[in-house]
């Protein structure tokens, strides 16, 4: 099921499935774009740094859905700016 939607229903699904492991096909690191923190509305804990990057003001206590986004390729709707990517090549 592909849910590339920026909706509250998609957010609910991402939250409910956040207890599941992150896909082994995910690679990269957070680049501070802040796009995931705007799904579907901007998080009240999202802050902007002087360097133009974004950060979480409750980083230590952030929810699992934030820690693991993007958990799978099907929920990855911020791929144009995000530092993460998915490799589906099997070795």
CA atoms within 13 A on the CB side of 54: 18
**Average pLDDT value for residue range 9-13:** 89
Cis peptide before 48 (omega within 30 of 0): no
Q: How confident is the model at residue 1 (pLDDT cuts 50, 70, 90)?
A: very low
CA angle 27, 80, 65 (to 5 degrees): 60
Q: What is the pLDDT of residues 56-89, one digit of tens each?
A: 999 999 999 999 999 999 999 998 899 999 987 6
């Amino acid at each position: 099921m592909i849910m590339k939607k920026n909706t509250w229903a998609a957010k609910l699904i991402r939250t409910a499935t956040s207890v599941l492991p992150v896909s082994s096909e995910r690679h990269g690191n957070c680049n501070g774009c802040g796009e995931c923190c705007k799904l579907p509305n901007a998080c009240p804990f999202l802050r902007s740094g002087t360097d133009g990057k974004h950060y979480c003001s409750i980083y230590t206590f952030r929810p699992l859905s934030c820690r693991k986004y993007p958990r799978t390729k099907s929920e990855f709707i911020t791929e144009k700016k995000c530092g993460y990517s998915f490799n589906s090549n099997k070795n």
